[in-house]
Amino acid sequence: MSSVIYSRNKSDHNCTNVDSLMKLYYLPIMYSVIFAVGLLGNITSIAIYLAKLRPWKSSCIIMVNLALTDLLYVLSLPFLVYYYTNGESWTLGNFMCRFVRFGFHFNLYGSILFLTCLAVFRYVVLTNPLRTAQVQQKRWGILACAAVWAIAGAEIVPMLTMITMENKNNKTRCLDFASGDPALVWWYGWLLTVLGYLLPLVVVVLCYAGIARELAKGPHTHSPCRVRARRLTILILVVFVVCFLPYHVLRILRVDTRMKPESSCMVEHWVHAAYIISRPIAGLNTFFNLALYTLAGDKFKQAFLSVFHLGPWWTRFRTHLKLSQAVFSKPSNTASAERTVATDMDIQRQEI
C-alpha cells in the first residue's frame, strides 16, 4: 500500500500523492451522493412551495430562492464526477469549466446570504412583534432575494477571470479556484472569506443570540414552538461552522502553502488533501437546507406529508405524543403562561 500512496521521485522527501487518490475516489463518490439527494430533495421542495404553499410570505420566497441556488449547484456535479473519474481530463471546453466552478461558489455564498436573511427576519419578528406583518410582506422577501443574487453575483463574478484550464501530461485540466495563480487567488480568497463568510457569520450569531434570549423567557421553555425554533437555530449555526468554516480555513492554507517555496512537498500535498475533503463538506449544506424547510414551520411539513399521503399517520403520532406530554406536564402561573403563549404565537407567525 505504501508504494501506492508514496512516490519516491521527489528530491526532498518521499512525497505523498494522497491528494490525487482523494480526487480519484473521494470526490466522485461524495459528489454523486450530493447530486442524487440534492436533485430529488430540491425539486420536491420547489414543487411543494409552488403547488401547496401559496400565498407566499417573505420567508417562503427566501426558501424557494435558497432551493434554486442548491439546484444550480447539484446540476453542475455530474460534470465534476465525470471529470474526476476520467483522471482529471476535461473535455467540455472553457465555458463549462468556468460554469461548473462558478456554480459551487455561487451556491456557497448565495446560501450564506440567504441563511443570514432568514436569521435577520426571524430576529426582527421575535424581538419586534408589531413589525411581524410588515416583515412577512412579499416585497421584503423579493427585495432580500434580489439583493442576495446581486451581492453573490458581484462577489463571484471576478472569479470567472481566475478559473483557468491547464494542459499537463497530454490532459486538459479544469483547475479549481485555489489551484489557480496564487498571487491573484490569495487576496481575492481573503476578501471572499471576510466579506462573504465572516461578516455574515457575525450577523447570524448576533441574531440567534438575541433569539435565544427571547426563547429562554417564561416558564414553558420546552413548548413545541420553542423547541423547533431552537433546533432551527442550532441547524443554521451547524451549517456555518461544520460546512463553511473548514472550507474557508483550508482554502487559505492551500493557497498559502503554494505561495511559500519553503513548504515541503509532503505538507503541500496533505494540505491539498484536506482542502479536497472540505469541498464536498461545504456542498453538504444542501442536505441541511432540506432539513431547514421542515424545521422552519409546520405548513411545509403538512404539505410534504399530504403529497406523499402520510398525513393520517403523522396526525396519530403527534396526538399520541401530546397525550404523553400532558400526563407529565405541571400547572403553571396564568400570567407566565399568557406571556409564553404570546411568544409562541410570535414564533408561529414568522414561520412558513
What is the domain-level CATH number for residue 139?
Answer: 1.20.1070.10
What amino acid is encoded at 122 in this protein?
R
At 171 the three-state DSSP class reads: strand
Q: Give the cell for residue 323.
A: 397525550
Q: Which phi-psi region, left, alpha or beta, contains residue 62 (left: φ > 0; alpha: ψ -120 to 50)? A: alpha
3 inside domain: no
- Please list, in sequence order, all residues whose beta carbon lies within 8 angstroms of the beta carbon of residue 273, skipping any fewer than 6 positions away: 16, 18, 19, 22
* Enclosing domain of residue 44: 16-349
Quick: pLDDT tens for 227-269.
777 778 888 888 999 999 999 999 999 999 888 877 778 888 8
11 inside domain: no
7 inside domain: no
| Neighbouring C-beta atoms of residue 255, cutoff 10 Å | 25
Q: Tell me: pLDDT of 74 over 50.
A: yes
**Whole-model pTM over 0.85:** no
Q: How far apart are the first and last CA of the chain?
A: 53
Q: Tell me: pLDDT of 295 over 80.
A: no
105 inside domain: yes
Strands 6-7, 15-16: pairing is antiparallel
* Range with lowest mean pLDDT among 26-35, 79-88, 92-101, 339-348: 339-348
106 inside domain: yes
The half-sphere exposure of 102 on its side-chain side, counting CA atoms within 13 A, is: 18
2 inside domain: no
What amino acid is encoded at 292 in this protein?
L
For residue 344, name the pLDDT band (cuts at 50, 70, 90): very low
Q: Give the cell for residue 23.
A: 480526487
Q: Tell me: pLDDT of 80 over 90.
A: yes
Residue located via cell numbers 456542498: 283
Distance CA 174, CA 172 (A): 7
Quick: pLDDT tens for 166-218.
888 888 999 999 988 888 889 999 999 999 999 999 999 999 888 888 877 76
Q: Tell me: pLDDT of 222 over 90.
A: no
Distance CA 280, CA 79 (A): 14
Domain count, the chain: 1
Contact call for residues 182 and 255 (beta carbons, < 8 A)? yes
323 inside domain: yes
Distance CA 116, CA 122 (A): 10
Quick: pLDDT tens for 273-288.
999 999 999 999 999 8
At 159 the three-state DSSP class reads: helix
At 166 the three-state DSSP class reads: strand
For residue 67, name the pLDDT band (cuts at 50, 70, 90): very high
Distance CA 93, CA 82 (A): 14
